Each structure stands twice: as C-alpha cells, then as structure tokens.
Amino acid sequence: MYYFDHCASTPPLPEVIRTMAEVMAEHYANPSSLHRGGAEAAKLLERARAVIAGAFGTEAGEWFFTSGGTESNNLAVVGAARQYRSRGNHLITSAVEHPSVLEPFRMLEREGFRVTYLPVDGCGVVSPEAVEAALTDETTLVSVMHVNNEVGSVQPLAAIGSLLHRRPRTLFHVDGVQSIGKLPVRLREWGVDLLAASAHKVGGPRGIGLLYKREGVRLAPLMGGGGQEGGVRPGTENVPAIVAAAKAFRLAVESQKQRAGRMYRLRGKLLACVAAIPELVLNGGGSADDPAGTGGSEEKEPAAAPHIVHFSYPGMKPEVFVHMLEKHRILASTKSACSSKDDKPSAVLEAMGADRERAASGIRISFGDEHGDAELEWLCGMLGQVVKKLKPLERKMNE
C-alpha cells in the first residue's frame, strides 16, 4: 500500500509501539494511587511532560494531556471563552478552521457569544489586518490554526501574535495538530496562550493529545472528576499512551527541520506533476519551483505546509477518484477525514473562493517520512492514468 493520507493519521513509529507496549505491561498502577506503583506511574507522567516541554522550549507545568486534538481544541476554545466571559463576549476565529474548533464556536454562539469568522484569501490564508480590524474591547479569544488540514495553507501566526501581544486580555489559541513536526512551532516567540496537538499525527498513539496552556492562563474545565491534570482535564491518565506520545513529539520536533527540507522537495515534484494534468486544479499555496511559497526568501515564513498537496478535479466526484487510486494501492482522501463521509462541498475551498464544482471535487495527498522519489513517481503516474480513465465519465456534479 502507498499511504498518502498522513493528515488523517500517521503510521505509528516502531519505537513508539515498543514504548507503549512496555509501559503498558509494567506500569498499570493508577498514577493517582498513593502507593509506590502509583508514584512510579505518576513520575512517568511528569517525565513525559518534561520531555514535551523541553522539545517546545516551555515549562512542564504548561502541558496537559487530553484524549486528542479534538478535545484539546474544545477545551481551549470553550474553556477560555467561558472562563473569561466576565471580560467580554466576543471571539474571533477563521472560516477555514477544523471542525473541532468551528463546532465549539458554534456551541458558544448558542450560549450567547458573538463570533467573528475571518475570511481567507485564494490560498486559504487569513490576513493579520483582518484580525486587527475584527478586534474589539470585548474580544477575549482569537483562534487561528497553524496549518490548514485540508489545503495545507500556513497562517501568519507571528504577525497575529504580535498584534495580540499589545492586548493581554485577548488570548491566542492555535490549532497545531497539522503543523508539529512539519514546521517550527514557536510558542513563546509568537505569544501563543493555548495550543492543541495530537499524537497520532506525528507517529504516536491514537487517543492522546496535548494542550499547551501558558502559565497564568485559566480554563473552565469541560469535565468534572478527580482533579487530575490540575483539574483542567480530570480522568485517569493514559500512562502508556502519554509516555509513547512524549517520545513521538520529541522525535517529530527534533527532526522537523530536516524533514521539512526533504518534503518541500517532494512537494515540488508532486505539484509539477499535478500541474501537468490539465483536468486537475491545484488549491493552496506554492508552485513547482517554489513549493514553500516563500518566493525564494529565506526569512519569509512559508505559505504552504511541506506535506500536503491539494487539488480539485472539477466535474468529478472525489470519492470516485479516491476509490480509483485505491485500486492501484494508493490511499488518499477527499477533504478532512473527519468530514469526508458527508458529500457537501468543502467549506474551506468555498471560503477560498472556489466555485461549487471545484469545492466539491477536492483531493488531498499528504505524505510522510516513508515516501521518497520512487513513491512520488508511482503516484504521479497513477494520477495521470486515473484521470485518463475517468475523463469519459466526467459529468456535472449536480446532474
């Protein structure tokens, strides 16, 4: 199989699986128990926290374990909005956020909060000026993702962070699920107050996520329980998954730079091959000569993530395309895996100004460390063949 769906999930690293199994076998005591077994399990948690904090240049006390990216995003958005409601009622996010961010905002709207959904440009990027214009004295939270999970656009977090730096009463939440291990995540430098991450996007176990909460920030918890994780996220901690996740995150952050270089090169190759197929339209930033979309500047932050190529085949149902690729042992996806089973056009593509046909026919290729030139060439060849086969079947989506 050629697995090109890394945005949805990544193959767990062998050393992560080994760690998880060993910890699971040896440390089954409840970390909240008073006895030695509990104390040892609790120490493993703290060491895992310290390892993660070290990887991101932060303090151990700023990291909390959750059940995954969705819970981290929910806890950050809802927890912050409710906690600081006495300061104000207005929240800002972007139109291209992941459902685990958008849905909590819709929930908050039903609770009476006012939410501004910022537009994006044709590449899927939010402008810092739009953030600035939307800010009011009532704004308590700005939530902008780092890398878009569908098209891979990269948001200008440094610029947004510096805007918010002058407004200590407005918190800055970042959904970092798709960016960790792919791009540098500079929490301190950007002034990030809250960040969500998910271990299975970096070769870690499923069902475990991270929430970064800058020291001093408070959150209203979503769950009531035994007071674990400082009461922010009660519930018995999943010790083996947490230890394995710490390893996965550390490895991902340590190898990020080297990975990005390699992947941008592969991305450029794939962009060139998609561009050569006239039926396909590329979505998102970057080009074959400039896969990072920096225009050759070394200082400029990239506009496109290194591991995602997204295109539309207007006139074709994307699931047909996906299944055709699958016949050739290639696994790709339509939009985000979380919402790929509904057949509505992509809200992200619509927000980027795509017409309905283009928005309803998106294909996402996302790759990882196991891919090299050979795999990319195989994929390119197959894309051409599949398009050739499907061409006679092209029809309007609405027929």
> Measured from the CB atom, is 47 or 167 closer to another protein?
47
Pick from 44, 144, 174, 197: which binds another protein (CB under 8 A)?
A: 44
Residue 160 in contact with another protein, rule: CB under 8 A: no
Q: How many chain residues touch another protein (CB under 8 A)?
A: 21
> Measured from the CB atom, is 38 or 99 closer to another protein?
38
Task: Write down the residue that tokens 């308590």 correspond to.
Answer: 140
Residue 288 in contact with another protein, rule: CB under 8 A: no
State in angstroms the smallest separation of the CB of 42 from another protein: 9
Cβ proximity of 136 and 89 under 8 Å: no
Pick from 6, 8, 27, 293: which binds another protein (CB under 8 A)?
A: 27
- Pick out residues in 165-194 that bind another protein (CB under 8 A): none
Residue 43 in contact with another protein, rule: CB under 8 A: yes
Select from 38-46, 116-124, 228-236, 301-309 the region that touches another protein (CB under 8 A): 38-46
Select from 180-188, 228-236, 238-246, 302-310 the region that touches another protein (CB under 8 A): 238-246
Report residue 178 as tokens.
């798709």
Q: How far is CA 299 from CA 270, 286, 316, in A?
A: 24, 16, 39
Phi and psi for 74 in degrees, rounded to 5? -60, -50
From 7, 123, 273, 338, the catalytic residue: 338
Pick from 154, 246, 303, 330: which binds another protein (CB under 8 A)?
A: 246
Residue 250 in contact with another protein, rule: CB under 8 A: yes
Pick from 17, 24, 29, 51: which binds another protein (CB under 8 A)?
A: 51
> Measured from the CB atom, is 7 or 248 closer to another protein?
248
State in angstroms the smallest separation of the CB of 71 from another protein: 23
* CB neighbour list of residue 57: distance below 8 Å, 6 or more residues apart: 187, 188
Residue 228 in contact with another protein, rule: CB under 8 A: no
123 included as an active-site residue: no
State in angstroms the smallest separation of the CB of 336 from another protein: 31
> Measured from the CB atom, is 46 or 377 closer to another protein?
46
Report residue 324 as tokens.
């055709």
CA torsion, points 95, 100, 105, 107, in degrees to nearest 10? 140
Residue 254 in contact with another protein, rule: CB under 8 A: no
Inter-axis angle of helices 373-390 and 256-275, to 10 degrees?
30
**Which residues are at the interface with another protein (CB under 8 A)?**
15, 19, 22-23, 27, 34, 36, 39-40, 43-44, 46-48, 50-51, 243-244, 246-247, 250
Annotated catalytic residues are 338
